[in-house]
Amino acid sequence: MPTIQLDNLIKRYGEVEVLHGIELEMADNEFTVLVGPSGCGKSTTLRMVAGLEDVTEGEIYVDGKPVSHLEPKDRDLAMVFQDYALYPHMNVAQNISFALRLARRPKAEVHAKVKEVADMVGLTDFLHRKPGALSGGQRQRVAMARALAKDSGIFLFDEPLSNLDAKLRGQLRAELALMSQRVEKNMIYVTHDQIEAMTLADRIVVMHGGYIQQQGSPEALFKRPVNKFVAGFLGMPPMNFLNGEIKEEAGDVFVKGNGFSLRLQDEKAQAAKAHRVREVVLGVRPSDLVFDAEAPSDQALTLDVMVSEYVGAQSVLLCQCGADQVTVEMNSETPMALGQTLRFRITPNRVHLFDRESEDAIQSK
């Protein structure tokens, strides 16, 4: 399957530049997810790869060959759209086989292919229905079957699950993950939903404001975000941010802020020392705060519990730390009452530090 390379891709609409030089390389059989808030340029990037948008500057290479001058149909790709984009006047079988029929493949082959992919996505009983007589989930399955039937090397998804309700979305997400293991294709998937990104991707590309913020495996991005945006975007509930200042006392390095004073350890302490910036933002994920009344005060946050949101096995606590809000994720079985002031230990080395001005992460190289 082909490799895809985006080389300094720029997109302008008139005077407005929406993509500022996207550099990206996608290896064989890789599931790449472009994720970011709306307007970050992820869909535009995908549509440029598809050939639905013109490239203003830069080049797209597939297997080393430039393709940006080619029509979509000559790029060896298939695409699944957010609104399914089915042909309303054709039944399911005709929708799936449209590309094959245009290519004038023999009837028997078309028939076999339709049966194969319909089996794969569980549509065998609906082949003679029109899209109007299908539910949302079924329609998106037809769209996937249609893309699969094309047998192209590149598979593009433009927010395929966004129009579905939460339960269906989870179900189809699992099916997609399964499918991506079974078919050997290069997949590019655009979404604004960080859970989809985390669960599906081999590689996540976080975009914001027309720039790539960071790319890498889901784990790498979750554990070592390079800036405050990536840190806040991935993870649910989102990371807590508290303003603080780096202070050195008796050889130890502290982050001090309104209502907390935290002693940094090992690598973090060295990075903070080396960075020479006083004004920082402390980042702590809600899951890295553990209720522990006995925790030493320089390894913990003391929080006033304001609201408790019960979500089943876990509860999300909204707490107050000085003037700032902090969320904590904890086991619902833990007994506690609203209005209490509790101490939460921070899991060692799970704190993140960001330069307050540039918002870049402060970490050892």
Residue 151 near residue 159 (C-beta atoms within 8 A): no
Residues in 238-277 at the binding interface with another protein, rule: CB under 8 A: none
Phi-psi domain of 211 (left: phi exceeds 0; alpha: psi -120 through 50; beta: other): beta
For position 185 contacting another protein by CB under 8 A, the verdict is no
Q: Is 50 in the site for another protein (CB under 8 A)?
A: yes
306 binding another protein? (CB under 8 A) = no
Of 72, 237, 238, 259, the one binding another protein (CB under 8 A) is 72
Query: Which residue carries 């393709």 as its tokens?
Result: 67
Output the smallest distance, CB 3 to another protein, in A: 20
Instruction: Rule CB under 8 A: say whether 219 interacts with another protein.
Output: no
According to the binding rule CB under 8 A, does residue 89 interact with another protein?
Answer: yes
Minimum separation from the CB atom of position 125 to another protein (A)? 11
CA 304 to chain centre: 32
Residue 85 sits in the site that holds another protein (CB under 8 A): yes
34 vs 79, beta carbon nearer another protein: 79
Q: Given the rule CB under 8 A, which of 128-136, 213-221, 238-246, 353-361 is the region that contacts another protein? A: 128-136
Q: Which residues contact 285 (CB under 8 A, 6 or more apart)?
A: 235, 239, 240, 350
* Listed ranges 69-77, 174-182, 320-328, 341-349: which one lies at the site for another protein (CB under 8 A): 69-77
Instruction: For another protein, give the closer residue by CB, 78 or 231.
Output: 78
Q: Is 270 left (phi over 0), alpha (psi -120 to 50) or beta?
A: alpha
Distance CA 272, CA 247 (A): 10
**What SS3 class is residue 47?**
helix
Q: Is 195 exposed, middle or buried (0-12, 13-18, 19+ CB in 10 A)?
A: middle
Compare residues 65 and 73 and give the one whose CB is closer to another protein: 73
Query: Are the C-beta atoms of residues 27 and 79 closer than 8 Å to each other?
Result: no
Whether cis (ω within 30° of 0) applies to the bond prior to 237 is: yes
Q: Of 9-17, 77-85, 229-237, 275-283, which part binds another protein (CB under 8 A)? A: 77-85
β pairing state of 77-80 and 252-257: unpaired
Distance CA 198, CA 269 (A): 29
Which one, 26 or 78, has the nearer CB to another protein? Answer: 78
Spatial distance between the Cα atoms of 333 and 211, rounded to a whole number of angstroms: 43
Q: Which stretch binds another protein (CB under 8 A): 54-62, 130-138, 179-187, 285-293?
A: 130-138
| 61 touches another protein (CB under 8 A) | no
Closest approach of another protein to the CB of residue 160, in Å: 12
Contact pick of 71, 125, 294, 333 for another protein (by CB under 8 A): 71
Our finding on whether 88 is near another protein (CB under 8 A) is yes
For the chain, the residue count is: 365
Name the residues that contact another protein, by CB under 8 A. 50-52, 71-73, 77-79, 81-89, 98-99, 102-103, 130, 132-135, 143, 146, 150
